[in-house]
Structure 1
Amino acid sequence: MIDTISFRRNLPVGAVGHRALGWWGMWMLIATEAALFAYLLFSYFYLLSQSQNIGLPATPPSLRLALPNTFILIGSSLILWWGERGMRRGRMMRQLAALGLALALGVIFMAVQGEEWRNKTFSITEHAYGSLYFTVTGFHMLHVLGGALMLAALFVWTALGHFNAERNAPITIGALYWHFVDAVWLTIFGSFYLYPYLL
């Protein structure tokens, strides 16, 4: 008797359900990265508590680029959440559109942040404030870049039909990271852009 083996044309991508091993791994990554940003922001507030002479700009920072950029990043998270909801109902084109829009908004955020850096009147080596500002926002930019690459990969895999309403753990995991990146930006924005108005 000859045993026959049937091959599936489309192999599954990832585990079923958003509590897959990668989901827990992403939470561990987020915990370590959150600790990094907590240490960096602690340094900023510690120096402010010790001395007002750390190089704070004479006038509070302009919100001309930073405020719209904040709304761009928040919008990208909301769009990604909207796509996830559609994906769970089997609307994969909606998920594909959401991934594409979130990715585009992430790229726009990075471009605007680059312009923000270019317009700064201080450098990373000028004083403690400049050093902390460029270090913290620079680390955040690297996280946005990593998230954008993740969204690009998910976009391609979604377009190739690797996901469906039941098998979509990588999308949920990638979205979790993107929401984390957005939450970190809100703390950075509050610390470096809004807090100086209170001093």
Structure 2
Amino acid sequence: MARAHLSTAAVIAAAAELADRDGFDTLSLSALARGFGVQTASLYSHIRDRPALLELIHQLALAELADRIALAIGGRSGRDALAALADAHRDYARRYPGRWTALQRPATEGTVRSEPAARVADLTLAMLRGYALPEAELVHATRLLAATINGFLALEANGSIAHRAPAVDTSWQRALDVLDSAFRSWPEGDS
């Protein structure tokens, strides 16, 4: 990449691609600078440091995931919306493993308060509201949903659930069926 194309957006995009190719945890500013054909110091006018770069990749991944979820769940409700949301996560994890890893890291306060994080949360809550869950129970339902999706995808990514029949895709559908059933019969709670 030529130096003339150096911008904050280009640096973040290149870092995300590098994370997908080589792994999120191995991402370094020096490797990123090499890709641009510049010295590492040239990146500092666009990115403060490595932690800031990782935070920006996290926010990029949230924005991309929110776009995918919005397209997937539009016009759907119940199990169809649940499956669309979960499949959007699964497809994203498979296509962008480095960015998916960013999403699995603790979010900084800036990321938690970011517009992309709010969009993912709003879309998830909108899908869950289709189940007529009590408002006081939405946080609990969101946590169950996130734990199920992220846990399944982590096990799938490391290959630990692919060693026996039936196919992993069948187990994925069963997990969605169980979530759908849980959301349809959610117990009243004390908050």
TM-based fold match above 0.5 = no
TM-score, normalised by the number of residues in structure 1: 0.26
Normalising by structure 2, we get a TM-score of 0.26
Q: Which has the higher contact order (CA 8 A, sep 6+)?
A: 1
Bigger radius of gyration: 1
